[in-house]
Amino acid sequence: MIEVSKDYDLPFGPAHPGSGNFSVKLKVNGENVTGAKSDPGYLHRGFEKLMESRTPMQNAVLSDRICVLEPLAWNLAHAEAVDELTGTVIPERAKYIRVIMAELSRIQSHIIWYGAMSMGTGFDTGFKLAFGYRDYILDIFESVTGGRVYPAGYICPGGVRRDLPDRARERILKVLDKVDRMKMLEKLENPALLSRMKGIGVLKLKDAVRLGATGPVLRASGMKTDVRLDDPYEVYDQFDFDVPIMNEGDSYSRYVIGIREIEQSMKIVRQALNELPGGKVREPSLKPELAAKIPKGEVYIRNEIARGEAGVYMVGDGTGSPYRCKIRGPSFLHMIPVLEHLLVGSQIADVPAIYWSLNPCPADMDR
C-alpha cells in the first residue's frame, strides 16, 4: 500500500467560485485546517496614490471603485473628508439624500451578503432570490445616479450631483415593501443553512477587538457600537433606529445581524423620505468653484458602511489635490487577521461558511 501524507496545502481562491479576487492558503491535516495565511493584492490599484494627482471631483468618481458592492458608501466617506477640509456647509436636502442613498446601499449590500452566505453553504435558492431582490434597488440607483452599480461619484464634495427624480419617494417605498417580502426567507429558517452556520467560526469579543473587527462582525460578538450612533455624521442623529447585537459571535449570529440591519436601514430610509426638506442639493452650485483648492489641514472621517468601519484620512496642502489620502477598509482587518484566526482549527467544509459570514470585499481590502 502506498503511504499517503495527510498534510497538504489547499489554496482557497483566487479562482474558487466563492472567494472573489482573494486567496487564503490553508494548511490542512485530513479534514482539519491547521494553518491559514491570507494572500491579498489581486485587486490592488493604489487609489491612495492615484488620488494625489487628481481633483476632488475626479476622486469622487474614483472612490466608487473602492468597493464594488457598496460604492455609494465610499462616495460619502470621501465627500465628507473633502467637505470638512474645505469647510463647505452641505444643504439640508443633500444630507438627507446622502443618508437615503447610503442606507439603500447598505440594504443591497446586506442582500448580497445573505446571497453569498447562502451560496457558500449550498443553499442556492437563497442566492438567486437575494440577487433578484437586489436588482429592485439597483433600479432605483439607476434612476437616481445613472449607474446601476457604480454611481460615478453621485455623492460628491458639496452635496450630491443632482436631485432625486420625479416620484422617487413612491418608487423607493415600493421597493422597500418588496425587500420586506424577501425577509420572509429568514423566517423559513432553512435547516441546511442553519446546520452549516450555528456554532461555526466563533469570534470572542476580546479577540474581535484585538484583531480590529468592526461593524456587523463586532456587533455579532456582543459589542454595542455603531459609528452612526456613537460618532454621528450627516443627519443620523435625527433618526430613530436600533443597533442589533448578538452575543454568540458565530457565523449564524453574523447572518442574523445582517438581516436585522436591513430592517433598521429600511426604517431610516422611510423616516428620511418623510422628513426630506426642500432646497438645493449642492453647495456651491457651480463646477469651477468646486475645483477649488483643498486648504491646509487634516481630517479623519469615520463612517459606518455595510461591512464595518470605513476611514478616510485626508491631508490638504493648499493645492487642487489631496496631499495624502489614506483609506481604511473594514475588510482589510476582517479578511487578514480575523479570517486567519477563525480558520485555524476549523474543518475544510466550514471554510465557506466562515469566509462569507465576514462579508468580505476584496476590493476595499486591497484598494
Partner 1 sequence: MSTNISGKEMAGKIRRKFSADVRVQKERRIWVETTKAKLPSLCKHVKGLGFDHLSAISVTDILKEGKYVIAYHLWSYDDKMALTIKTKISRKDPVIDSVGTIWGKNAQIHERESHELFGVKFTGNPDLSELFLENWKGPPPFRRDFDWKAYVRKEHYDKENEREKVYWEEEA
Site string for partner 1, 28-67 (x = CB under 8 A): ------------xx--x-x-xx--x---------------
Residue 185 or 220 having the CB closest to partner 1: 220
In the structure grid, which three cell numbers stand for residue 184, read together?
A: 420572509
Structural contact between residues 98 and 154, judged by C-beta atoms closer than 8 angstroms:
no
Q: How far is the CB of 245 from partner 1 (least distance, A)?
A: 13
Q: How far is the CB of 229 from partner 1 (least distance, A)?
A: 6
Q: How far is the CB of 72 from partner 1 (least distance, A)?
A: 21
- The amino acid occupying position 224 is K
Residue 8 or 300 having the CB closest to partner 1: 300
Among 168, 173, 229, 292, binds partner 1 (CB under 8 A): 229
Scan residues 231-250 and list those touching partner 1 (CB under 8 A): 231-232, 237
- The amino acid occupying position 146 is G
Q: How far is the CB of 342 from partner 1 (least distance, A)?
A: 12
Among 146, 177, 295, 300, binds partner 1 (CB under 8 A): 300
Nearest residue to 130 (alpha-carbon basis) of 148, 117, 112: 112
Task: Write out 180-232 in H/E/C secondary structure.
Answer: HHHCHHHHCCCHHHHHHHCCCCCCCHHHHHHCCCCHHHHHCCCCCCCHHHHCC
User: Cα(130)–Cα(243) distance, rounded to whole angstroms?
Assistant: 23
Scan residues 311-350 and list those touching partner 1 (CB under 8 A): 311, 313, 315, 323-324, 326, 328, 332-333, 336-337, 341
Task: List the strands of the sheet with 23-29, edge to edge.
Answer: 7-12, 23-29, 32-39
Residue 198 or 302 having the CB closest to partner 1: 302
Scan residues 196-225 and list those touching partner 1 (CB under 8 A): 209-212, 214, 223, 225
Structural contact between residues 133 and 174, judged by C-beta atoms closer than 8 angstroms:
no
Residue 150 or 313 having the CB closest to partner 1: 313
> What is the total count of residues that contact partner 1 (CB under 8 A)?
37
User: Cα(252)–Cα(196) distance, rounded to whole angstroms?
Assistant: 9
Q: How far is the CB of 233 from partner 1 (least distance, A)?
A: 11
What residue has cell string 475626479?
Answer: 58
In the structure grid, which three cell numbers stand for residue 306, read together?
A: 455595510
- The amino acid occupying position 303 is N
Site string for partner 1, 269-298 (x = CB under 8 A): -----------------------------x
Alpha helices (H) in the chain, listed in sequence order: 47-50, 56-64, 71-86, 92-120, 124-145, 168-182, 184-187, 191-197, 205-210, 215-219, 227-230, 251-275, 287-290, 330-333, 339-343, 351-357, 362-366
Q: How far is the CB of 337 from partner 1 (least distance, A)?
A: 4
Distance, CA of 335 to chain centre: 13
Site string for partner 1, 164-183 (x = CB under 8 A): --------------------
Residue 108 or 214 having the CB closest to partner 1: 214
Residue 37 or 171 having the CB closest to partner 1: 37
Residue 64 or 366 having the CB closest to partner 1: 366
First CA to last CA across the chain, in angstroms?
50
Would you tell me which residues interact with partner 1 (CB under 8 A)? 40-41, 44, 46, 48-49, 52, 209-212, 214, 223, 225, 229-232, 237, 298-300, 302, 309, 311, 313, 315, 323-324, 326, 328, 332-333, 336-337, 341, 366
